[in-house]
Amino acid sequence: MRRALRLAASGPWPDPNPRVGCVVVAAGGTVVGEGFHDGAGTPHAEVGALRAAGAAARGATAYVTLEPCSHTGRTGPCTDLLVAAGVARVVFAQSDPNPDAAGGAERLQAAGVQVSAGVLADEAAALNARWARTVVLGRPLVTWKLATTLDGRSAAADGTSQWITGEEARADVHELRATRDAVLVGTGTALTDDPRLTVRMPDGRVAPHQPLRVVMGLRDLLEGARVHDGPGTVVRLVTRDPREALDSLWHKGVRDVWLEGGPTLAAAFLRAGLVDDVYAYVAPALLGAGRATVVDLGIHTIADALRLRLVDVAVVGGDVRIHAVPARDDATTDLHLPERP
């Protein structure tokens, strides 16, 4: 199973599908097939492992990090493939939290396959924690990134905001941007700051993989806006409603959003309870006036403050990075990005 977990970690995130690994072991203990899921639209881990095993899969044991699926999506049910291959036993780590795909264990047992569940379940769950959270929520996860002075300003009185934080912090932001599949701002930020929203390397080069660059709001962008420069795709969402925006992105396959909008857009997501992570980059600087980091949240007394639960604090160059999550009942504090092998 540990080998299957290492294989699973080779799969991509973000992705609409979970990261899954499979190892097929013959009756004598010899590994005869391995596979992992390489993202939406590619064969499932079981498919790759059974193809590699061929006839040797008959009477073998399949170790899978996630309960084999029992539904038909882009591909047929993996349970049917395992039965057809003559696998005698299936051992899986994590039960599938997706109700549309769950039920594989019962289907295998009904076909006479021996099933064992829960082997290294915690490790498997940790690998797919962010994906599982999106399944529960039915929407993409949202990480709000902000850069602020010690007195809570995101721009000076004259509107300038480049740069509040130092070069090291900005490079750190680009590393984290690259781990999401969409970067989202509002038309206000797009018109005021004219950002590119690309992921750039420390030397300034544009990274080969680019998240979707998403701008939401009702105003038109300026002709020649820099958001259209560079590789990748730009998505315009003509709405001010955060839920409508996330629903649209969900149906485009987006599962992890990096929110870099200004104080108005951030407040809209916070008021709607649609922020799951916060990365605050705090510069040891004071402005005394200027644009606040976030506008009115409808909070009028300290007892109603939107409290955050601290996850991590780090010094990044000359600035401080604070990672926190909303301290609400349904929040999860262990949604760390999955490690790659």
The CATH number that applies at residue 162 is: 3.40.430.10
Q: Which residue in this structure is represented by tokens 């929407």?
A: 139
pLDDT the model gives residue 96: 87
Q: Which of 87, 104, 127 is the last residue of a domain?
A: 127
Find the mean pLDDT for residues 113-128: 94
Q: What is the pLDDT of residue 100?
A: 74
Tokens at 118, concatenated: 């829960």
Kindly report, residue by residue over 159-169, the tens digit of the pLDDT. 888 889 999 99
**Percentage above 70 pLDDT, the chain:** 95
Are 48 and 165 in the same domain?
A: no
Exposed/middle/buried for residue 337 (C-beta within 10 Å: 0-12, 13-18, 19+): middle
* 283-299 mean pLDDT: 92
Active site residue 106: no
Mean pLDDT of 153-176: 90
Same domain, 161 and 195: yes
Tens digits of residue pLDDT in 2-36: 999 999 999 988 888 899 999 999 988 999 999 99
In angstroms, what CA-CA distances link 291 with 149, 294, 300?
Answer: 11, 8, 20
Q: What is the pLDDT of residues 180-203, one digit of tens each?
A: 999 999 998 888 888 888 888 877
Residues 177 and 248 in one domain: yes
In this structure, are 123 and 156 located in the same domain? no
- Find the domain containing 157 and state its range: 139-326
Of 78, 103, 127, the position where a domain reaches its end is: 127
Q: Can you give the pLDDT at residue 275?
A: 96
Q: What are phi and psi of 91, to 5 degrees?
A: -115, 120
Asked whether residue 341 carries a pLDDT value surpassing 50, the answer given is no
How open is the CA angle 194-220-175, to the nearest 5 degrees?
Answer: 35
Domain closes at, from 67, 97, 127: 127
User: Could you give the angle at the alpha carbon of 181 between the alpha carbons of 177 and 186, nearest 5°?
Assistant: 75
- Report, as an integer, the average pLDDT of 290-300: 91
Rounded to whole angstroms, the Cα distance separating 294 from 233 reads: 28
Read off the pLDDT of each residue in 266-287 and give the average, rounded to a whole number. Answer: 95
User: Would you tell me how many other CB atoms lie within 10 Å of the CB of residue 268?
Assistant: 21
DSSP 8-state class, residue 88: -
- What is the rounded distance in angstroms from the CA atom of residue 294 to the CA atom of residue 263? 4
Number of domains forming the structure of the chain: 2
Residues 117 and 186 in one domain: no
**Residues near 97 by beta carbon (within 8 Å), at least 6 away in sequence:** 132, 135, 136
Q: Check whether residue 215 and residue 274 sit in a common domain.
A: yes
Does residue 216 sit in the same domain as residue 187?
Answer: yes
pLDDT tens-digit series, residues 304-324: 999 999 999 999 999 999 999
Written as six digits, the tokens of 6 are: 């290492």
294 in Cβ contact with 145 (< 8 Å): no
pLDDT range class, residue 111, cuts 50, 70, 90: very high
Identify which of 177, 122, 171 has the alpha carbon closest to the alpha carbon of residue 337: 177
Separation of first and last alpha carbons in the chain: 15
Supply the CATH number for residue 49's domain. Answer: 3.40.140.10
Give the pLDDT band (50/70/90) at residue 74. Answer: low
Question: Cβ neighbours of residue 125 under 8 Å, at least 6 residues apart?
Answer: 93, 94, 132
Rounded to the nearest 10°, the torsion over CA 232, 235, 241, 247 is -80
In a domain, 213, yes or no: yes
pLDDT at 101: 72
Q: Which amino acid is at 108?
A: L
Report the b/e string of 292-331 with b at 16+ CB within 10 A: ebbeeeeeeeeeeeeebeebeeeebbebbbbbbbbeeeeb
Q: Is residue 331, in this structure, part of any structural domain at all?
A: no
Integer Cα distance of 55 and 67 in angstroms:
23
Distant-in-sequence, close-in-space partners of 183: CB < 8 Å, separation ≥ 6: 177, 197, 211, 212, 213, 214, 257, 258, 260
* pTM for the predicted model, two decimal places: 0.84
161 shares a domain with 29 = no
Looking at mean pLDDT, say which of 40-44, 52-56, 187-191 comes out highest: 52-56
Q: Is residue 49 part of a domain?
A: yes
Q: E strands within 55-159?
A: 61-66, 89-94, 114-117, 141-149, 153-155
Q: Do 289 and 171 share a structural domain?
A: yes
Q: Which tokens in the block code for residue 108? A: 């295998």
Q: Could you say which of 34, 46, 67, 260 is catalytic?
A: 46
